[in-house]
Amino acid sequence: MSPKRISVIGGGTGGTLLANKLVSLLKGEVARGEVEVHLFTESTEHVFSPGNIDIAFRGARPESFRRREGALLDRRVVLHENAVSRVDLANRALFHDSGVINYDYLVLATGSVARPDIIPGLKESSYNFHTGQEDAGRTWEALSRFVGGRIVVLTNIPHKCPPSPVEAAFLIEELIRKRGMRDRVEISYATPYTRAYPAPAIAEVVEPMMEERGIRLYTMFNTDYVDPKAKKVYSIEGEELEFDLLITVPPHRGADVVFRSEMGDSEGWIPTDKETMRHEGSDDVYVIGDATNIPISKSGVVAHLEAIVAAENVASDFLGTGKVYCYTGRINCPLELGDSRAVFVSATYEKPPARQRPSVAKYLMKRAFASVYWEMLKGRLDHVFDLYFGKPYRVKNVAN
């Protein structure tokens, strides 16, 4: 009898952790040849995306935030270093460069894609740190050349890592100040939200600090288009901002494979049950991370926690335990505020983020995460996170 095949598409935070978690949860079944875990990724390298902040605003070396994907995976995971071009849910088939492969269970961890090209004039007029390490490096180079004038940090939605545009504004202000140029630079922060940060309690922390540091705040600014020659960005609401340097967080969309497979909505987000992480309409397909349509932060932390829940549910279904693991919506996103201070945006589906005091301790915790990330992907630190933050799920027992 051939082994059951669990296929995972996407070698980011969620996909890598989930594949490792599955072979651990099903170690006996894997050893007996009853099940195989396959991971499909289009890149041989795994990038720690939060490191783009350090590359763009501190001039960090990109290579320090990269590892070979194969070195991060349990040896029992079957790695395919080629992209899946299309998914046929009806026939449980994956199409890729080497042919077609069928699955018994599927996990979609296809992430999101920064799309500056969606807004007219944005791509050719701006620098951003969400499209990859190379563009993050270009952002640092642009800041290094800057000698004075107007800097606009422009946020577009939806986007991954909700804290990142706010972090960009504060780190730019700190950088300019430390270079002795603060009196020659005007910094503006424009966001589509009604406040500096979507969560009110966090906005109550951020907004006074922006005022204190002379960062001009423009809310309800939905980008319409950018005029590269005039160096102006225009909003749908009729406002305009002049810039000498435009640094943007572009709008994001789902992965190309989602569009080609017609699995998502008009923006490429896949319908997903917010508790079980099961694809709506399928019993054998799960979705995690940025790929879902769940109204929650698109971030590496969320992908990590959802991966744990999905892995538990796949293993439970395979083993017939009668247990269903329900994600609580827990998030714990660090938000750096410059001058070695940070807060953690912590919440669940039921409990919104609370107001807190920025601290050096939280800043150091954020800085340390880049070092432990690689071990975290192997599932070795989940018990530590559970002790500090609590488990990311609750368990329901259902009839077998």
pLDDT, tens digit (0-9, with 9 covering 90-100), for 162-176: 999 999 999 999 999
Please give the Cα distance from 304 to 302 (Å, whole number): 5
Give yes or no: residues 120 and 241 share one domain: yes
Of 235, 252, 269, the residue that ends a domain is: 252
Q: How confident is the model at residue 380 (pLDDT cuts 50, 70, 90)?
A: confident
Q: Higher-confidence residue: 44 or 379?
A: 44
Q: How confident is the model at residue 389 (pLDDT cuts 50, 70, 90)?
A: low
The answer on pLDDT for 282 being more than 70 is yes
pLDDT score, position 399: 61
Of 228, 252, 276, the residue that ends a domain is: 252
What 3-state class would DSSP assign to 212? helix
DSSP symbols for 252-281:
EEE-HHHHHHT-S-TTSPBPB-TTT-BBTT
* CATH code: domain of residue 230: 3.50.50.60
Give yes or no: residues 100 and 137 share one domain: no
SS3 content of the chain, % helix, strand, coil (to 5): 35, 30, 40
162: exposed, middle or buried (Cβ count in 10 Å: 0-12, 13-18, 19+): buried
Please give the Cα distance from 182 to 177 (Å, whole number): 5
Write the CB contacts of 397 (distance below 8 Å, at least 6 apart in sequence): 322, 323, 324
**Average pLDDT, stretch 189-195?**
98
348 in a structural domain: no
Model confidence pLDDT, tens digit, residues 216-231 = 999 999 999 999 999 9
pLDDT score, position 2: 87
pLDDT score, position 68: 96
Model confidence pLDDT, tens digit, residues 335-351 = 999 999 999 999 999 99
How far is it between the farthest Cα atoms of the chain? 73
Give yes or no: residues 105 and 120 share one domain: no
Give yes or no: residues 208 and 119 share one domain: yes
Write the CB contacts of 365 (distance below 8 Å, at least 6 apart in sequence): 334, 342, 344
**Average pLDDT, stretch 92-107?**
94
Structure tokens at 321: 């335990």
Strands 45-47 and 185-190: unpaired
Give yes or no: residues 120 and 246 share one domain: yes
Please give the Cα distance from 21 to 101 (Å, whole number): 22
Positive or negative CA dihedral for 174, 196, 151, 143?
A: positive
375 in a structural domain: no
pLDDT score, position 381: 75
pLDDT score, position 387: 66
Mean pLDDT of the chain: 95
The answer on pLDDT for 400 being more than 60 is no
Give yes or no: residues 132 and 236 share one domain: yes
Model confidence pLDDT, tens digit, residues 54-71 = 999 999 999 999 999 999
Please give the Cα distance from 149 to 101 (Å, whole number): 55
Domain of 168 in residue numbering reads as: 115-252
The answer on pLDDT for 382 being more than 90 is no
* One-letter-per-residue 3-state SS of 305-340: HHHHHHHHHHHHHHHCCCEEEEECCCEEEEEECCCC
Distances (CA, A) of 333 to 94, 170, 345: 33, 16, 5
Strands 393-397 and 77-80: unpaired
195 in a structural domain: yes
Closest CA to 248 of 370, 120, 126, 87: 126
